[in-house]
Structure 1
Amino acid sequence: MAMRLGLSLPQMRQYDIGRDVPDVARAAEQTGYESLWVFERILFPEPAAQGLYGIPGLTWPDHYRSVADPLVTLTLAAAATERARLGTSVLVAPLHLPFQLARTLASLDAASGGRVVAGLGTGWSLDEYAAAAVAPFAQRGKVLDELIDVCRTVWGPDPVAYKGSLTTIAPSVVGPKPKRPIPILLPATSPRARRRLVDKADGWMPVGMGAEALATQWEQLRELAAERGRKEPVQSVLRVNTRHTGTAYTGPDRSPFQGSVEQIAEDLFAHAEVGLEEILIDLQGDARDAEELKDLAAEVYAAAREAGV
């Protein structure tokens, strides 16, 4: 069976969100992509309190200057498609009130016929936390734990009741319910985060930074799941951030998924061999507009299938 492929939706400032999101979503589904994805960036600090990903001196990319709200974007895509799953990669959990986010995801899943996949993370931007977080940066793991628990509770049978550090729900009827249990996926890059994934989440959402490293992390995660007595299999979606250069990149410092469509397809094949279930391909930063994004997405899809992905 061919690996499932997904595509990131256009959220950046070169796109007309109201026009381009439905257009790209429909085209991607027709091409064969089985899922559509969004990410979250809420502001572009000038100057930033810290570098990109918290790395000192690493500048934020210019296309982060305007990123459309992820759940508004997914709603536009849901209305324009019929089959493709609708995923977040990822929502920064502490920027959302747990109860409100749980209700929004449930409504979107009910409206779309059961197509939502909730990728959740803790984030890294101190500036975003200062502007919008429900708790300090140091408590981000605890917030994510509570958000997962609140989601499971709100999505479950009525009456819903919960008592946590951020959230109190008196016994209540809360609807609509999701069409089916919404899978929760986590990036889980640290030992503590991997334990959280094994104990509380449905799946893993790593970033593709090399097939060998991915294989090692995947094996470690499965070993941890066995050690902790997990019964359910760990679902998996690999996120791939491309750097499409048009022609082949020949430099000695080529990163995975950098270069021509053919080079990207070769890297997709190498990562697919690790054995994860799905690959999400983010091409939106490489395109100047929606027409170019649709063309590039179709090229990459065809090349990946030709390469045996």
Structure 2
Amino acid sequence: MALRLGLGLPQTGTYDLSTDVTAVARAAEEAGYDSVWVLERIMRPEQPVDDMYLIPGQRWSEYFRSVSDPLVTLSLAAAVTERVRLGSAVLVGPLHQPFLLARALGSLDAASGGRVVAGLGTGWSRDEFAAAGVDYASRGAALDELLDVCAAVWGADPAAYEGERTRFTPSAVGPKPAGRIPVLLAGGTDRALRRLVRRADGWLPSLVANDQLVATRARIAELAREHGRDPADLTITLRTFVRVTDRPVDGKRRPYQGSVEQIVDDLASAARAGVDEVLLDNQLTSGDARELIETARLLREAATEAGL
């Protein structure tokens, strides 16, 4: 199967959200992208408890100062497209009240004709958890409960659930999703991968090198067989951050940073590593929506010409 390509929607404060989200979503569909994606970041603390992504010494990115709500952004994209899937990479599941998030995702799927892909993660910022009034230490259990609640809310009525954060008696809960919403999970620890093979449809890594992709894919396959699942049923969707340069970057370079031809080579390498879909996010390196769209079109055309 051909490598699928997704495009990150503009969410940061450098864009005009009243016009740019819909413009990029339309352009992505017209250019032949398979999906459009959002991220979630709710704040940029001035004195953060944790370094960014828990990497020692890593400063929080300036774009965290303003990131639009992911579900609002996807709703805007859904209203002006007909084909592209609508994905999150990722929603920080524990920051949300499970019942309300499950209903919102179900409603968006119904409204879009069954195009939602729910990418979820546990999160890493204790500042964000404090702002949301959620216990950071219980984030894994909170994600498990969210998955349970989604299964109940998206399933047949009457739906019911009783857990730590969510309790509801047998009830009719609608609208139901138009189809089965695929669930992708982030995280690469063995515990996270075990949750993935038990509960999800695929893995959603970010900025992961090909050798790690190959090793983790092998581990996912091993765990899937232990749980009686076909490894082929579990997909890998890789999130990347793209910077396109006018000339090839010489010497050592980061993947997806370089000329269009170099980035296409990176896509081919990802496909050989077993990746099913690559999310190209160039919003942080584009000056405006017009540049974002033009770069996205160049990459899609070059990938097609390369047989990807």
TM-score by length of structure 1 reads 0.96
Contact 1:79 1:112 in 2 (8 A): yes
Task: Give the deviation of 1:248 after TM superposition.
Answer: 2.1
Q: Is the 8 A contact 2:188 2:216 kept in 1?
A: no
What is the match of residue 8 of structure 2?
Answer: 8
SS of the residue 2:208 aligns to: coil
Equivalent pair of 1:208/1:271 in contact (CA under 8 Å) = no
* Residue pair 1:187, 1:204 contacting (<8 A) in 2 also: yes
The one-letter code of the counterpart of 1:32 is G
What corresponds to 1:18 in structure 2? 18
Deviation at 1:301, TM superposition (A): 1.1
1:191-225 alpha-carbon deviations (Å, 9 max, x no partner): 10000001111211122432222111111111111
2:76 aligns with: 76
User: Equivalents in 2 of 1:114, 1:240: separation in Å?
Assistant: 25
Alignment pair present for 1:90 and 2:90: yes
Structure 2 Cα separation of the partners of residues 260 and 239 of structure 1: 18
- Please give the residue correspondences for 1:242-257 in structure 2 after superposition, counting only pairs within 5 Å: 242-252=242-252, 254-257=253-256
Q: Does residue 191 of structure 2 align to residue 188 of structure 1?
A: no
Consecutive unaligned residues in structure 1, runs of 5 or more: none
Q: Quick one: structure 1 residues 62 and 230, their matched pair in 2 at CA, closer, same or farther if it must change by over 3 Å?
A: same
Supply the AA of the counterpart residue of 2:199: K
Corresponding residue of 1:178:
177
Q: How does 1:275-294 map to 2 (within 5 A)?
A: 275-294=274-293
1:47 aligns with 2:47: yes
SS at match of 1:239: strand
Offset, 1:246: 3.6
The 3-state SS of whatever aligns with 2:89 is strand
Q: Deviations over 1:106-134 (max 9, x none)?
A: 0000000000000000111111111014x
Distance of 1:243 and 1:125 partners within structure 2: 26
Partner Cα separation in structure 2 for residue 201 and residue 288 of structure 1: 36
**Letter of the 1:244 counterpart:** V
Q: Report the equivalent of 2:117.
A: 117
CA drift at 1:68 = 0.4
Partner of 2:5, secondary structure, is strand
Query: Which residue is equivalent to 1:299?
Result: 298
Report how far residue 34 of structure 1 moved: 0.9
The secondary structure found in structure 1 opposite 2:19 is helix
Distance 2:130 2:247 in 1: 41
Please give the alpha-carbon distance, in whole angstroms, between the structure 1 residues aligned to 2:244 and 2:143. 34
Counterparts of 1:2 and 1:55, CA distance in 2: 34
Give the residue type in structure 2 aligned to 1:258: Q
1:209-252 per-position Cα deviation (integer Å, ceiling 9, x unaligned)? 32222111111111111122225711331212223344322243
Aligned alpha-carbon RMSD (Å):
1.3
Q: Letter of the aligned partner of 1:274 in structure 2?
A: A
User: What CA deviation, in whole Å up to 9, does each residue of 1:31-72 have, x standing for no partner?
Assistant: 000101000000011022121101221011112211000000
Supply the distance in 2 between the matched residues of 1:187 and 1:245 (Cα, whole angstroms).
29
Matches within 5 A, 1:27-66: 27-66=27-66
In the alignment, structure 2 segments of 5+ residues that lack a partner are none
Q: Take 1:181 and 1:160, find their aligned partners in 2: how far apart are those partners?
A: 16
Secondary structure of 2:215 counterpart: helix
* Match status 1:269 vs 2:265: no
Q: What is the number of residues matched between the two proteins?
A: 307
Is the partner of 1:17 in helix, strand or coil?
coil
Mapping for residues 196-207 of structure 1, pairs under 5 Å: 196-207=195-206
State the 1:306 CA deviation: 2.5
Which shifted more, 261-270 or 91-100?
Answer: 261-270
**How many Å apart are 1:305 and its aligned residue?**
2.1
Give the SS at the match of 1:236: strand
**Per-residue deviation, residues 156-191 of structure 1 (Å, max 9, x unmatched):** 010011000110011110000000111110013101
